[in-house]
Amino acid sequence: MKRIVFCLFLFGCSPYVLSTNKIYNEERIKKLPCIAVFPFNNKTIYPDAGFLVSEGVAEFIKKTQKGVMTPSEVKKFLEGKGVIMPSEIDTGTAIAIGRLIGAMGILHGEVREFLVDDKGWSKEPKISFSVVLFDINGKRLFEGKTSVNVEFYNGVPVFSYSELIERSADNTISKILPLLNLKKAPCVWRKIKLVKKPVEKPPEKKEEKKLEKSPEELLVEKLLRGEKVILEGLRFKKDSFVPEEGIEVVVVLGKFLKENEKMSITIVGHSSEDEKNPTLSLLRALYIAKILYKDFQLEQGRVKVKGAGSAEPLDPKIPERNRRVEVFITK
SS3 149: strand
Residue 105: beta bridge partners? 35, 135
pLDDT of residue 15: 59
Residue, of 30 and 186, whose pLDDT is higher: 30
What pLDDT band is residue 10 in, cutting at 50, 70 and 90?
very low
CA-CA distance, 49 to 115, in Å (whole number)? 9
User: CA 43, CA 50: separation in Å to the nearest integer?
Assistant: 8
d(CA 113, CA 278): 25
Classify residue 81 by its DSSP letter. Answer: T
Q: What is the pLDDT of residue 204?
A: 62
Give all domains of the chain, ordered by start, each with its CATH number: 17-173 (3.40.50.10610), 214-330 (3.30.1330.60)
Contact 122, 152 (CB under 8 A): no
- The CA distance from 130 to 110, in Å, is 5
- Report the SS3 class of residue 251: helix
- Does residue 265 contact residue 285 with C-beta atoms inside 8 Å? no
Main-chain dihedrals φ then ψ at residue 107, nearest 5 degrees: -105, 120
What DSSP designation does 240 have? Answer: -
269 pLDDT higher than 90: yes
Reported as a pLDDT band with limits 50, 70 and 90, residue 57 is: very high
- Per-residue pLDDT band for 3 (boundaries 50, 70, 90) equals very low
- DSSP, collapsed to helix, strand or coil, labels residue 306 as strand
The answer to whether residue 170 scores a pLDDT higher than 50 is yes
Q: Which H or E run contains 93?
A: helix 91-100
Residue 56: name the closest of 72, 79, 32, 42 by CA.
72
Adjacent-strand bridge partners of 235? 245
Pairing of strands 325-330, 35-37: unpaired
Give pLDDT tens digits for 204-241: 655 554 457 777 788 888 888 889 999 988 999 999 99
Each residue's pLDDT tens digit, 131-153:
999 998 889 999 999 988 877 65
Q: What angle do CA 61, 62, 63 make, to 5 degrees?
A: 90
Strands 126-135 and 140-149: antiparallel
Q: What is the pLDDT of residue 5?
A: 31
Q: Is the pLDDT of residue 202 over 70?
A: no
Measured over all CA atoms, what is the biggest interatomic distance in the chain, rounded to whole angstroms? 107
Checking if the pLDDT of 2 tops 50, the result is: no
Residue 96's pLDDT is: 85
- Give the chain's length: 331
Instruction: Report in angstroms the alpha-carbon separations of 318 from 272, 274, 297, 300.
Output: 9, 11, 36, 36
Q: What is the pLDDT of residue 9?
A: 34
Beta-carbon contacts of residue 62 (< 8 Å; ≥ 6 apart):
68, 70
Q: Which of 11-25, 141-155, 223-237, 275-289 has the lowest mean pLDDT?
A: 11-25
Mean pLDDT across 95-120: 84
pTM as predicted: 0.62
